[in-house]
Amino acid sequence: AHRHEIHKSKNHSLAQWELKKRALRKEWRRQNGGTPDPLEDRRLGLMMEILSDQYQMKDVLERSDRAMAVVKDLFGDAPRRHTGFPYVTMAPSCDLDTSRGPITQKKDPPTRLSVLSESIMDSQ
């Protein structure tokens, strides 16, 4: 289903609106024997404009999402994916005052952005 959605035409809904507009014009001409209702024509025109604006916005957002996916880690400080902490309990006979604890946590290495920020702050 996802693959089908990816390859689906972006113009599908606009084409459906165009077909609906043509069908309404035909029906109006058949019933009234004249030109279509200008209010209905305006309404359909506005709906088409709104729909096309929404699709343009969606396309812009999709392109920006793809660009951001390419530029994942510009400054080297992207969130790490392995930051989970194991759930470990202490032994019942362990004294909390004398032991440091079962897990030692290592800090992440400093990124270029943090080093640059520290150097600027130190110079002031």
Report the candidate in 105, 75, 74 with the shortest Cα–Cα distance to residue 88.
105
d(CA 82, CA 6): 31
Mean pLDDT over 15-24 rounds to 80
pLDDT of amino acid 67: 80
Give Dmax over CA atoms of the chain in angstroms. Answer: 97
Alpha-carbon span 33 to 106, nearest angstrom: 81
pLDDT digit string (tens) for 69-108? 777 666 666 666 665 666 666 666 766 555 555 555 567 7
Q: In which band, very low, low, confident or very high, does the pLDDT at 64 lie, cut at 50, 70 and 90? A: confident
- Token pair for 7: 């390859």
Q: Which of 8-17, 36-45, 85-94 has the lowest mean pLDDT?
A: 85-94
